[in-house]
Amino acid sequence: MSSSNLKIFLSIFLSLIIFFSISYIFENPQNTKEIIQNIPNILSSSFQSFNPIKLLSQTAKNVFNSENQKIQSQINNNNQISFNLPTSSFKYISPTSIKEKIPTKYILPQKKISITPTKITNNSPTKKLENENKNENKKSLPPIKSDERPGNSLDEIFEEVSQRTCFPKALLWAFKTVETGERFKNESSSTIKIYNTYGWWKNGKGDPCYGYGYHTQTGIIPQDSINAGSSCAKPIGSKDDLKIMGLFQISEWEEQVSRKQTIKDLPENIDRRVFFDNALIFSYITKNRIPGGPPQNCQNWPENIIKKVAEKHHGVCQYDYGNGAKGDYCQKIIELYKKYK
């Protein structure tokens, strides 16, 4: 290669070196010092060997070594490398929305997801014993097929119903007292047996007016009873007759809708005019009105539950009948429940 050609080649080559070096410096200012320090070595090597390929290789090697030394220094000083990853345009995908499609490379490592069963059944002996204790007075009693129902007093009747339905006996007394007062509380067993036998309103042994065998809203005795059409009391409440009767003032609809539960206790027949039947219907209906189901404890219910079922049974807690009778129905039930408990 002639001297003139060599000068031209070197000029072009140096120009390229300077151009790419300046570009690299602007893009990587942190490497400026290392590059400047390497320029004499690069030029010296170039003039000695006049080998362009070797010169380019040496330059790349020096730059790479410089970067490698800096990275190694960061590892030694910080024991951690901070990488600037490209910003992802994808949102964080939670485990619940994992069905969304997302490129694999944008998913960073996450903690292992622990999947638990939807429902866990605790069959531990302690839990089983606790549930048995709470329901210790709920007994499996045989169905009643006789027209004469069990119990020679209201207390005996309520005790039987409580055992069959897991319903607090004290709460039965509270509702009975508010609904129909003190009547039959201290009656003889012979009188109780009359009104606790299916068909008493037909055979003439009982008085429909005394035994709450008439429709409360109209005050009229129904057509299937002795003295049908007679009036036992003045009409009260709504004009729509719900055919409410009995100790707990149970409607015809409540008797019908609860039949799917009462049939296991009274498979032959049922009527809300029978003391036992009326209490049985009331217990099942009241338990069905509790959101989430009734308490497991058959004799001890919290006040908030009692207030809820009282309001459901009466329609409202605060009442004013317009005839001077007004008050808080729910509070009365709670107070009487505490009294009889």
Calculate mean pLDDT across residues 276-287: 98
Within this chain, do residues 297 and 216 fall inside the same structural domain, yes or no? yes
Helices (H), 79-199: 125-134, 154-165, 169-180, 189-195
- pLDDT score, position 66: 55
- Summary mean pLDDT of the chain: 77
Within this chain, do residues 71 and 162 fall inside the same structural domain, yes or no? no
Within this chain, do residues 63 and 159 fall inside the same structural domain, yes or no? no
Residue 223 belongs to a domain = yes
Domains in the chain, number: 2
Q: What are 165-217's pLDDT values in tens digits?
A: 999 999 999 999 999 999 999 999 999 999 999 999 999 999 999 999 999 99
Residue 131 belongs to a domain = no
Residues 154, 160, 165, 166, Cα dihedral to 10°: 90
Residue 195 belongs to a domain = yes
Query: pTM above the 0.85 mark?
Result: no
Block residue for tokens 């120009």: 15
Residue 314 belongs to a domain = yes
Within this chain, do residues 177 and 49 fall inside the same structural domain, yes or no? no
Q: Which of 180, 190, 186, 181 is nearest to 273 (CA)?
A: 180
Q: 270: which residues sit within 8 A by CB, 6+ positions away?
A: 198, 255, 259, 262, 263, 277, 280, 281
State the amino acid at position 218 in one-letter form: T
Residue 10 belongs to a domain = yes
Using pLDDT thresholds of 50, 70 and 90, give the confidence band for residue 8.
confident
Q: Which of 296, 285, 292 is nearest to 260 (CA)?
A: 285
Within this chain, do residues 70 and 148 fall inside the same structural domain, yes or no? no
Burial (CB < 10 A; 0-12, 13-18, 19+), residue 218, is buried
Q: What are 123-172's pLDDT values in tens digits?
A: 444 444 344 444 445 568 999 999 999 999 999 999 999 999 999 999 99
